[in-house]
Chains A and B, each alone.
Chain A
Amino acid sequence: MNAPPRPTVPLESIEICLEGIVPATICSCSREGMPNVTFLSVVHRLDESHVALSFQFFNKTRANILQNPRVQVLVVSPETSEQFRLDLQYLRTETEGASFERMNTRLDAVASQSGMSNVFKLRGVDIFEVLDCRPVGSEFRAEVARKADYLPELDCFTERLSACGDLDSLLSTALEELSSLFGCAHSFVMFPDEEGKRLYTGASHGFEPSGVGSEVLIGKGMLGVAAKRHATVRTTNLTREMLLARAVRSAIQRRGQQTLLEREIPLPGLSNAQSQLVLPLLVGDRFQGVLCLQDQTPGRFLETDERVLQIAARHLAIAMSNIRLPVSPSRKVALKRTGAFSKRSSVVKHYKSDDSIFIDDTYLIKGIPGRLLWKLLGAFVGTGRMTFSNKEIRLDAGLRLPDIKDNLETRLILLRRRLDERCEFVRLVHAGRGQLHLEVSRKLALEELP
């Protein structure tokens, strides 16, 4: 068997042209000799001499490649505006396997976000051999492919994470270091809830307000699909993805098939996000949440970035899993109130139906963290207790905590961060090994409602 030809320009040196930041164009030709041109979203590089193109609809390009396997794809660099021609030879169509699954997850994620899950279906992935890749025009000077070397950053990242002793500092450190070491200025971590139905934001970096506590449904939208499939979902140009989806949506409406359409889901996080990388936090099969990185620039996260950040995310997941809550003695410490009490007072309302907490009629939190806070505030107002152990909370039957150890810690982080952001007179702080300290600087009146 002959070795595949080496393209004039190595594919890895034009990685950025193949990411769908700028649409590519494909020209095919029928058996009768009539050319056909159409636009393509993404050209997936499989190796140095193979690419994959996905197809959702049976169209003229499909018909042509089955008749005449030679096609040409025109791609553009979003960085230099340089154009390249890829001469391709169709080899086969795959409807399963790694390439198919990867492209399928990406398509399903975009489809779900844009309310097009019943319309966007990956029918197959066409595999092509790259016969040549050459610059359009003669003035191009092939440059040596940019070799990304992130070893020092990864070294530093893992070192900083290994110095963290609890989940809260681990998450804060991880997101801060992703920003300072890798330039990922906007990031958040979402955890699954006890029922495995939703993800909620437990920590964030580079957002104002923080968005902590915000939720998405598992299985819905890009984050929800990444969570459900335990898969990475990367997008390089969200505006373009949404414009394309809306064009298809209009076509479906013109056909009178509105019943196929679902609502477009707003993307959590940056309002003007163009690039997004969602990485599952997995240890073996154990799903601990997702790390989501966003950026306003198209093409911010390329294939190389994905690989590097995947390593960072895997390390974070293992570190999260390794952090064991220290077992503390179950002594109950009742501390006297310290610090100055403000003359003002506030009303805390607890709605039993969903455990939501409102402070002075402003919503704070609901669910398990709401129930937890209500319990702590009740103890504080009733007896003046301010310090509680994680263990007693976990064992308190009245709190009806699910039997998942990790979730108490993530719920406490959420509660702590919501309080930090929304309430200046109630704080929950770590008080050493397995202890929580409640700081209240205002008189509270508690009111329980159905």
Chain B
Amino acid sequence: MKRPTNSISITAELKDFLESGVSVVVGTRDSACLPDAVRAWGPRVGRDGRTISLCVAVATSGSALSNLRDNGRVAVIFCLPTNYKTIQLKGRFLGTTRPNGQDLAAVEHHRDSFTASATGVGVDRRFMEGLWQKELVESAVMLKIRFVAEQVFDQTPGPDAGARL
């Protein structure tokens, strides 16, 4: 799929944040504008600095995948549990592929760093293990979603939440 021309370049600082121990949820909608949310793992910013990829469990993301193929609109939220710094990217879906070794390594890295940041503020490790086991072990088949961001928002809680960056 051809990359939309108005995609934005992800700064090094933002890349570091997106690839850190954040909670990641993907928002999509169907042709009737009914929304859908699904948890995602292993976010990576590509070498071009514009393409972002993340993995979803096939068992949990049927609606999201069909929505993306239907209209390509995507919003993804990244939130760091330690301080609630939150970024939302809105953009266009590029396509799906089977995750390669690097993607699976990113999923594992994300799983560990997300667990570390959450347990650091008192979240029970068993809960975190349960969360990724349900998605990453019980639903063994994953798909990689690729998209480009067209807008970046600071979604950190407060009066300025939603400000465009």
Contact with A68, one of B33, B59, B153, B155 (Cβ below 8 angstroms): B33
Contact in complex: B35, A71 (CB < 8 Å): yes
Q: What is the 8 Å Cβ interface bit string for chain B, positions 25-43, against chain A (1 contact, 0 not)?
A: 1111100011111110000
The answer to the question of B113 belonging to the interface, with a C-beta cut-off of 8 Å to chain A, is no
The answer to the question of A70 belonging to the interface, with a C-beta cut-off of 8 Å to chain B, is yes
Contact in complex: A25, B159 (CB < 8 Å): no
In whole angstroms, what is the CA distance A341 to B27 when docked?
A: 77
What is the predominant secondary structure among interface residues of chain A facing chain B? mixed
Contact in complex: B83, A34 (CB < 8 Å): no
Contact with B162, one of A34, A59, A68, A247 (Cβ below 8 angstroms): A59
What is the predominant secondary structure among interface residues of chain B facing chain A? mixed
Contact in complex: A246, B159 (CB < 8 Å): no
Number of A-B contacts (CB under 8 A): 150
Closest to B129 in A: A81
Residues of A in contact with B (beta carbons under 8 Å apart): 22-23, 25-29, 31, 33-39, 57, 59-60, 68, 70-74, 76, 78-83, 85, 87, 119, 136-139, 239-240, 243-244, 246-248, 250-252, 254-255, 274, 298
Smallest distance from the beta carbon of A433 to chain B beta carbons, Å?
Answer: 50
Contact in complex: A27, B134 (CB < 8 Å): no
Closest to B158 in A: A251
Closest to A25 in B: B25
A37-B25, A81-B133, A243-B83 known; A138-B122 Cβ under 8 A: no
Contact in complex: B37, A25 (CB < 8 Å): yes
Which 9 A-B pairs rank lowest in CB-CB distance, beginning with the nearest? A81-B130, A251-B158, A37-B27, A247-B84, A35-B27, A27-B27, A27-B37, A27-B35, A248-B158
Which residues of B from 65 to 100 have beta carbons under 8 Å from A? Answer: 71, 73-77, 79, 81-86, 88, 90
Contact in complex: B35, A137 (CB < 8 Å): no
In whole angstroms, what is the CA distance A255 to B154 when docked?
A: 14
Chain B residues within 8 Å of A35, by CB = 27-29, 35, 73-75, 90
Number of B residues, CB within 8 Å of A: 54
In whole angstroms, what is the CA distance A248 to B83 when docked?
A: 10
23 sampled A-B residue pairs with Cβ under 8 A:
A23-B79, A27-B29, A33-B29, A33-B33, A36-B88, A37-B37, A37-B75, A37-B88, A38-B77, A38-B155, A39-B86, A70-B33, A70-B34, A72-B34, A73-B37, A76-B131, A81-B131, A83-B39, A119-B159, A137-B135, A243-B82, A251-B159, A274-B122
Chain B residues within 8 Å of A251, by CB = 156-161
A80-B130, A252-B159 known; A243-B84 Cβ under 8 A: yes
Contact with B121, one of A31, A57, A81, A243 (Cβ below 8 angstroms): A243
A27-B36, A85-B37 known; A36-B161 Cβ under 8 A: no
Closest to B89 in A: A37
Smallest distance from the beta carbon of A366 to chain B beta carbons, Å?
Answer: 36
Smallest distance from the beta carbon of A30 to chain B beta carbons, Å?
Answer: 8
The answer to the question of B60 belonging to the interface, with a C-beta cut-off of 8 Å to chain A, is yes
The answer to the question of B6 belonging to the interface, with a C-beta cut-off of 8 Å to chain A, is no
Closest to A79 in B: B127
Q: What is the 8 Å Cβ interface bit string for chain B, positions 1-43, against chain A (1 contact, 0 not)?
A: 0000000000000000000000101111100011111110000
A35-B74, A74-B39, A243-B121 known; A57-B159 Cβ under 8 A: yes
Contact in complex: A29, B134 (CB < 8 Å): no
Chain A residues within 8 Å of B60, by CB = 83, 136-137
Chain A residues within 8 Å of B139, by CB = 137
Chain B residues within 8 Å of A76, by CB = 131
Contact in complex: A137, B138 (CB < 8 Å): yes
